[in-house]
């Protein structure tokens, strides 16, 4: 028997590949199927089942393409209602893979169909739990994402999650290995550990949700501090439930090469968003006007989902040469399938064609320190509220990037402000959005708070509520 975790850092997502005696299963695959098919061919095994723990909200699963290419059936737990052929398992149903078995544990709460898969080895020993979004390391799945009846509150769902965890998961042996669907950085939880594998026994000791004295305290703990989910979550659920275009077709379309004139014409005719995936330093020096910058070297897919919002939005790509396929692939993971093509040769093609370019006014942290008067100048901190609370520039406003569509309406175009994040990645996303919407009255700080903290600019952890963006 072999168990392999296939972890994707950008999405903080874990897929799982299990092999026993010539047969394999894959749990929660990502959109592109090649990594899984390569493993099957390498090991000379047949894919018997594709297990889905639930209808994912934060990424588009590869279950449909993988099933088409291998013939393996897709398996969901009870209460799942996919609009394609699948096995809907019963609670406690057993599936045999080679010499091992997998038991379905229906664990509603995160979603109604959420299920965990319990692996029993060749000797029948309960060995590993593939816990999906029911149980994370350090946390549990948020109870506000279920496709549920309007009469069902998040508190009621949290109550169901309590029953699932305390009655079905906690009684399992302490030495069972927990393999969650996500780790730190995912928006599917709020307090996840950076580790991606642990024992159930240790989670009983360190996971706040598993140490609550009763159901009421559990509900209070898991519902406290939940931020609104990203807008694209619902659209990803729909794609996972109803179906989607094959990844091969999506990739083929996105890899269409365009020269500068073709790119410009298609942008005008289609109303496509121009997405520039270069690093923020390069983008600041020059870019196609109206472009939005989300760097491929970072949490690219989640920020694309949070900022672009509509997964059907047509997109034209500007990338570093050689990064075209990666950009299309990572967009498809969160449902952005309408990439019309990319600028052949990247930004230099546009620049060498003599086309109009734009730049962002960017300064170093040292220059910021020499210019700013924190008592007079407006400073906008677009980091997460928790980062701001830990420490921030004195008198800075907290306006997280995730809520830019709300706070941008409050910006006075005649008042200058300085803007920063932690290191320049998120502030350049914000800068590109602001300039695309006509705002040019700001200066962005290259190294962000990480650089500012090394200067003499006064900082504090005191929070004035008037300076904090209302959530």
Predicted confidence (pLDDT) per residue in 425-453, tens digit = 999 999 999 999 999 999 999 999 999 99
Place of tokens 């169909």: 113
| pLDDT band per the 50, 70, 90 thresholds, residue 469 | low
Strand 115-120, strand 459-460: pairing: unpaired
Angle at Cα 280 formed by Cα 458 and Cα 232, nearest 5°? 100
What is the sign of the dihedral through the CA atoms of 61, 67, 68 and 73?
negative
List strand residue ranges (DSSP E) for 73-165, in order.
74-76, 87-88, 94-97, 100-106, 115-120, 126-132
The token duo for 27 is 């749990």
Tokens representing residue 152 in the block = 């069902």
Is the confidence at residue 37, as pLDDT, over 70?
Answer: yes
pLDDT at 147: 54
Indicate if the pLDDT at residue 149 is higher than 80. Answer: no
Q: How many Cβ atoms from other residues are within 10 Å of residue 25's Cβ?
A: 24
Question: How far out from the chain centre does Cα 355 lie?
Answer: 34
**CA of residue 44 relative to chain centroid, distance:** 32
Instruction: Report the distance separating Cα 47 and Cα 36, nearest Å.
Output: 10
Contact 119, 18 (CB under 8 A): yes
User: pLDDT by residue (tens digit) across 357-404?
Assistant: 999 999 999 999 999 999 999 999 999 999 999 999 999 999 999 999
Residue 316's beta-bridge partner residues?
Answer: 274, 341
CB 316 within 8 A of CB 343: yes
Asked whether the beta carbons of 247 and 31 are under 8 A apart, the reply is yes
Rg (CA), the chain: 24
Element (H, E) at 349: helix 347-352
- Domains identified in the chain and CATH numbers: 2-234 (3.60.15.10), 245-352 (3.40.250.10), 362-467 (3.40.250.10)
Specify whether the CB–CB gap between 339 and 315 falls below 8 A: yes
**Residue 83: both structure tokens together:** 């609009």
Taking residues 64-74, what's their average pLDDT? 98
Average pLDDT, stretch 122-144?
96
Q: Residue 294: pLDDT above 70? A: yes
Please report, for residues 102, 421, 449, the alpha-carbon distance to residue 455 in angstroms, rounded to integers and kept in the order given.
Answer: 56, 16, 10
Q: Does pLDDT of 471 surpass 70?
A: no
User: How far is it, in rounded angstroms, from Cα 381 to Cα 401?
Assistant: 9
pLDDT higher than threshold 90 for residue 230: no
Q: With 60 as the cut, is the pLDDT of residue 255 above it?
A: yes
Q: What global pTM score does this model have?
A: 0.92
CB of 105 closer than 8 Å to CB of 168? yes
What does the pLDDT look like over 181-226, one tens digit per residue? 999 888 888 889 999 999 999 999 999 999 999 999 999 999 998 8
Kindly tell me if the per-residue pLDDT of 151 is higher than 70.
Answer: no
């Amino acid at each position: 028997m072999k168990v392999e975790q296939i972890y994707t850092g950008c999405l903080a997502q874990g897929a799982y590949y299990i092999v026993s005696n010539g047969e394999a299963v894959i749990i929660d695959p990502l959109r592109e199927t090649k990594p899984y098919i390569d493993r099957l061919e390498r090991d000379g095994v047949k894919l018997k089942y594709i297990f889905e723990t639930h209808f994912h909200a934060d990424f588009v699963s590869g279950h449909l393409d993988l099933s088409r290419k291998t013939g393996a059936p897709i398996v969901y737990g009870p209460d799942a209602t996919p609009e394609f052929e699948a096995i809907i398992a019963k609670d406690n149903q057993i599936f045999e893979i080679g010499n091992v078995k997998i038991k379905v544990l229906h664990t509603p709460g995160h979603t109604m169909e959420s299920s965990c898969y319990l692996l029993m080895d060749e000797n029948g020993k309960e060995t590993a739990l593939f816990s999906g979004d029911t149980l994370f390391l350090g946390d549990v799945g948020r109870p506000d994402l279920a496709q549920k009846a309007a009469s069902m509150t998040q508190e009621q769902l949290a109550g169901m999650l309590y029953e699932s965890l305390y009655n079905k998961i906690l009684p399992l042996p302490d030495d069972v290995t927990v393999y969650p669907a996500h780790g730190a950085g995912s928006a599917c939880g709020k307090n996840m550990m950076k580790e991606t594998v642990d024992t159930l026994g240790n989670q009983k000791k360190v996971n706040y949700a598993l140490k609550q004295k009763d159901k009421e305290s559990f509900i209070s703990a898991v519902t406290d501090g939940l931020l609104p989910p990203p807008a694209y979550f619902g659209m990803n659920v729909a794609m996972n439930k109803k179906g989607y275009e094959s990844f091969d077709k999506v990739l083929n379309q996105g890899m269409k090469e365009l020269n500068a004139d073709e790119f410009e014409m298609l942008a005008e005719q289609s109303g496509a968003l121009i997405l520039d995936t270069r690093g923020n330093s390069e983008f600041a020096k020059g870019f196609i006007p109206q472009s939005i910058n989300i760097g491929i070297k970072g949490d690219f897919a989640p920020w694309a989902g949070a900022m672009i919002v509509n997964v059907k939005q047509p997109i034209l790509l500007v990338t570093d040469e050689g990064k075209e396929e990666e950009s299309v692939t990572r967009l498809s993971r969160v449902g952005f399938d309408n990439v019309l093509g990319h600028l052949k040769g990247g930004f230099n093609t546009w620049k060498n064609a003599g086309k109009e370019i734009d730049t962002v006014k960017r300064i170093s942290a040292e220059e910021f320190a020499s210019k700013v008067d924190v008592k007079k100048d407006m400073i906008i901190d677009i980091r997460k509220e928790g980062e701001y609370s830990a420490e921030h520039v004195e008198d800075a406003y907290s306006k997280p990037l995730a809520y830019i569509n709300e706070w941008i309406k409050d910006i006075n175009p005649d008042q200058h402000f300085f803007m920063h994040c932690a290191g320049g990645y998120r502030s350049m996303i914000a800068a590109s959005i602001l300039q695309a919407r006509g705002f040019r009255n700001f200066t962005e700080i290259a190294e962000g708070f990480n650089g500012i903290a090394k200067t003499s600019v006064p900082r504090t952890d005191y929070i004035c509520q008037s300076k904090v963006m209302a959530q």
